[in-house]
Every structure is written in structure tokens, then in C-alpha cells.
Amino acid sequence: MRDTFASELTNLAGSDPRVVLLMGDIGNHMFDRFKELYPTRFFNCGIAESNMISVAAGLAMSGFRPFVYTFAAFDIGRPFEQIRVDLAFQNLPVVIIGLGGGLTYSPLGPTHYICEDLAITRALPNMTVICPADTVETRAAIRAALQKEGPVYIRIGKKNEPVIHETHPDFVIGKGITIEEGTDICILGAGTIVPNVIAAAHLLRESGLKTRVVSFHTIKPLDTDLLETVFSDYPLVVTVEEHSLIGGLGSAVAEWTSDQSLPRKGHLLRIGIPDEFLHYAIHPKSTREAYGLSPDKLAETIQAQYKKIHPHPY
């Protein structure tokens, strides 16, 4: 996904002279082509992320369309004040690309992985929050973000993420994409955990549960039309995210359901990262397994919840 970002932004810069790139001293070779073609529109701001956000704000006020890129832990966790005051408060069109949000960088420990970024950004007025599932959605999200008039946060994976879309779907900010259909359970997945969600859905089908899978790529604004439909049509709606259970997709959906006065058929199950820190370094696949985000663990948890609310044989 990071290579996809680099190539897509280079393409966009060719057709839009307002596009500028700021980075926090990582991935230099990724942007060789961008630097070769547009050397005056590339800024390596060093490991000074708070300053980088303020520089991006100044560029946006000067008519440019800045894209900011570094680890999500560093361009969200470190410069929150600048994001809040310089970008969100002034509603400036700056796109923050957070590399490796979730457990991607869990081998580097708590300084480098972040499971709170969606909560932090979702709480800010004027902020759009997008969590694409694969390279196809990443390209589309970057193009869509360029058209927004306010700040956007896009959380992307690192590399080798499975491609879940065989074709190019109609990507619209705030509108989920149905990947597979089903009538018993609906799973809303956000980000690079979606391939595990799809695999879990296949396991559920083997046990007789027809499962719909939606790439719910936009955390803010929510696709409330889709939510109204699935909570009316399905006995169980599940959110799955590689993010804290506090403040992310599951929280956003739970908040929405609590604000609705109409009766709904569906129960909500939220699956994500518990309210705790990792105190050891471990491979992301093992971390996901430990937190119940592997396909078999997801299927087991979802099937158990379905049996609680639907005890009759299916």
C-alpha cells in the first residue's frame, strides 16, 4: 500500500500542480520518481512531525494540496495539537497518510505501533477518516481525498497486503463496499484486516452461516444508509478492526445505534484490540492471533455470538 501511495501521488502530481509531498524522513527511495519529476514539490521535514503538520498547514493556506507521510504513530500520535489547531480548526485541505496503523509495527514495540489513531482523528471536527482495505481502495481513497476541502486522514498498510477487489469498485467516501453477499450475518470490516474477515466469512459459510462482508472503509463520516439497512435485515452485525475497541469503527457504529429511536433487528458485536498496551515485540500475524483477529478466531467468536441470539439450529 505504501508503494501504491507513492505511485498514485506521483500520477496525481502530474495533473495537479497543487500537489506537494511532505515526509518525515522515511521511505526516501519510494519517492525517487516524484522527486525526479517534481523536485520543488517534495519536502523532507525530518523527524519533526509537529513542525511538518504546521508546514503543511501553511502550504494549504497558500493554495497547495499537501500530502503528509510517515508512520501513523508519528504523524498522528506526536503532532495532535498541530492537527487539531492548524488543520482541523481551520478546515484546511491537508491529507495525512498514516503508514502501518494498527499492529503492523508491533515488532518495533509501543513507540511505533498505534491502535488509537482512528479514535484520535475521528474526534476532531471537520476531519474525514478513511481506512482502505487494499491497494485498489488506497488508490481510490487518495484520489477522493484530493477532492475534499478539509483535512483527511488515511491509514494504510505497509506492504504485501492481499488484493480483495478483482475489479475497481465505485469508491465513494462515506459509502461502504459490499464484497460478498449473505443473509444470516453482516460483517463490517475496516482496513487491512478485511482479508481475514473474508476468510472468516468463508469458514462461517462452511458451518451453514451465509455471511455478508462489507469493506467499511470510511470511519468518518459513517455510511448511515448502509447501517440502517443491515441493522434491519440481519440478526447479527459485526464490526472488525485492527484498532482499540474504544473510539474506532465499533464505537462509531455503537454510538450511531444508541442515537436511533427506531426498532432494529440486529445485535451488534464489536471485535478489535482490547484496552491495553503490548508489552512485548511480536510478529503482527502472531499479535492478531493473540487478539482474536485471525480468520479462525474471528469465525469462532462470531459463530458463538450468533448461537446466543439465534439458538435454534441453522
49 tagged catalytic: yes
Choosing from 8, 49, 137, 242, which is the catalytic residue? Answer: 49
Task: Report the 3 state secondary structure along the chain.
Answer: CHHHHHHHHHHHHHHCCCEEEEECCCCHHHHHHHHHHCHHHEEECCCCHHHHHHHHHHHHHCCCEEEEEEEHHHHCCCCHHHHHHHHHCCCCCCEEEEECCECCCHHHCCCCCECCHHHHHHCCCCCEEECCCCHHHHHHHHHHHHCCCCCEEEEECCCCCCCCCCCCCCCECCECEEEECCCCEEEEEEHHHHHHHHHHHHHHHHCCCCEEEEECCEEECCCHHHHHHHHHHCCEEEEEEEEECCCCHHHHHHHHHHHCCCCCCCEEEEEEECCCCCCCCCCHHHHHHHCCCCHHHHHHHHHHHHHHHCCCCC
Active-site residue list:
49
